[in-house]
Amino acid sequence: MLLGNGDGTLKAPITYHLDAAPYYIIANDFNRDGKLDVAVGSLFSSAIILLGNGDGSFKAGPEYHLDNTPTDIGLGDFNGDGRIDLASVGIFQSKNVQVLLGNGDGTFQNAGSFIDSVGGLAITVADFNRDTRSDLAACISGQLTVALINVTPGNLNNTDYFVHQHYLDFLAREPDASGFGFWTNQISSCGADQQCLDTKRANVSAAFALSIEFQQTAYLVERIYKTAYGDATGASTSGGAHQLAVPIVRLDELQVETEQIGQGVIVGENGWDAVLENNKQNFLAQFVQRSRFTNAFPVTLTPAEFVDNLNQYAGNVLSSSERAAALALFGDAIDTSNTSARAQSLRQIAENQKLYNSEFNRAFVLMEYFGYLRRNPNERPDTGYSGYDFWLNKLNAFNGDYQKAEMVKAFITSGEYRSRFGPL
């Protein structure tokens, strides 16, 4: 192991003796102590765990027999318990994809082998069908094999799993150790008090949507889309048949955009705000150059036309001084061909506090559908926006108090949400 000096050079190597022939290595925090550990696969059909001390050194961990000679390894949560599992692929014997389920303390248990074939060379883990569950893709016998697997259904009653799933659904990332420990403790501190557990689970769940990280990523995306493209129109029968204005951003759009803005952002970690700022700037610079945006806002528009159109879509949120500041970004230009000014003015309006406040309840309800149900509000089993309309009216009636509206509680206990993770 060679530790970096931070300037492109490396320190002298540190050697660890293994009673095996190491073939691959991968790093993660297997025992959830906030320190990176490594898993080493050997040609002697074993996986060796080295637990990190946090200073670049390691201590010996357990060793596990594998049913094949491993050539590659992937990491994921295959049984939905919020703990990192290992999947290895081997080259000689059949049943060459093997899964070791993590216990969260640096130890693992063998869950068996999958895919009856030989000649496995590489493996990767990702969510290929966007159900937030870890899937496998392996290069085996000269072809790509994809396995959409979960060893066991997710258990939402398991606190670790419940919190881990919220990181995936709302922040689009794996948990950081300190945050994961904080939120799981909020729930587990209730012990066996069911009323306390129900309340804490709803509060922890809502906290993800109310977090700085979510507000500065997913909610920002929703406001950018509103500022750029206005509202969509939906049909509702709640309180009688009528049409209503609804957020225009769709789930697939928000997922992709949120991942881009939130890449590498863990609020509370050193330098997170600089990473977020850089991500925002890069995202908006790309956004205003997309054909959808340039078709809606051609560069031939004057600065006043450009800013006023954005402001109108946002709900006329700019004060006279804020409008003047947005126009000033274009200087003396008579058109809006300045990409930087277009991006900055769009951002200035999307981050306007008046828009933030006025759009909050609409976005909160929208994110209940996106986060918990992983669908748009007008998709099956709904046929329109009646459900969305019902919850928005209820949230508004309680002045945005999700606890009194019992909205979060209703979503996390709904059959539709719970059925995502296994049979009811």
Rounded CA gap, 69 and 43, in Å?
5
Q: What would the pLDDT profile of 228-270 be if each residue is shown by its tens digit?
A: 999 999 999 999 999 999 999 999 999 999 999 999 999 988 9
Residues 387 and 299 in one domain: yes
Average pLDDT on 115-140 reads: 71
Residues 131 and 231 in one domain: no
Q: Are 265 and 213 in contact (CB under 8 A)?
A: yes
Name the packing angle between helices 194-210 and 177-188 (round to 10°): 150
Q: Are 296 and 277 in contact (CB under 8 A)?
A: no
% of the chain at pLDDT higher than 90: 55
DSSP H/E element including 40? strand 37-42
Read off the CATH number of the domain in which 37 is found: 2.130.10.10
Rg, Å, the chain Cα set = 25
pLDDT bin (cut points 50, 70, 90) of residue 34 is: confident
Residues 326 and 413 in one domain: yes
CA torsion, ordered 293, 299, 300, 305, to nearest 10 deg: 60
Average pLDDT on 336-355 reads: 98
153 pLDDT more than 60: no
**Domain membership flag for residue 105:** yes
375 pLDDT more than 50: yes
Count of Cβ atoms closer than 10 Å to residue 319 Cβ: 10
Given 147, 172, 188, which residue is the final one in a domain?
Answer: 147
pLDDT: is 124 or 315 the higher one? 315
What is the predicted pLDDT for the residue at 151?
A: 46
End-to-end CA distance of the chain: 48
Cβ partners under 8 Å of residue 349, min gap 6: 227, 307, 310, 311, 314, 317, 318, 326, 355
Give the strand pairing for 143-147 and 231-236.
unpaired
pLDDT bin (cut points 50, 70, 90) of residue 174 is: confident
Partner residues linked to 65 by β-bridges: 46
Average pLDDT on 295-302 reads: 97
Q: What is the mean pLDDT of the chain?
A: 88
Q: Are 258 and 172 in contact (CB under 8 A)?
A: yes
% of the chain at pLDDT higher than 70: 89
Q: Is the peptide bond before 381 cis (omega within 30 degrees of 0)?
A: yes
**Domain membership flag for residue 189:** no
Average pLDDT on 311-328 reads: 97
Extract the tokens encoding 336.
Answer: 């809006």
pLDDT bin (cut points 50, 70, 90) of residue 94 is: low
118 pLDDT more than 70: no
Residues 143 and 217 in one domain: no
Given 147, 171, 194, which residue is the final one in a domain?
Answer: 147
Least confident of 85-94, 278-287, 320-329, 379-388: 85-94
Given 97, 130, 147, which residue is the final one in a domain?
Answer: 147
**Owning domain of residue 375:** 213-417
The number of domains in the chain is 2
DSSP string, 178-192: HHHHHHHHHHHTTTT
**Domain membership flag for residue 182:** no
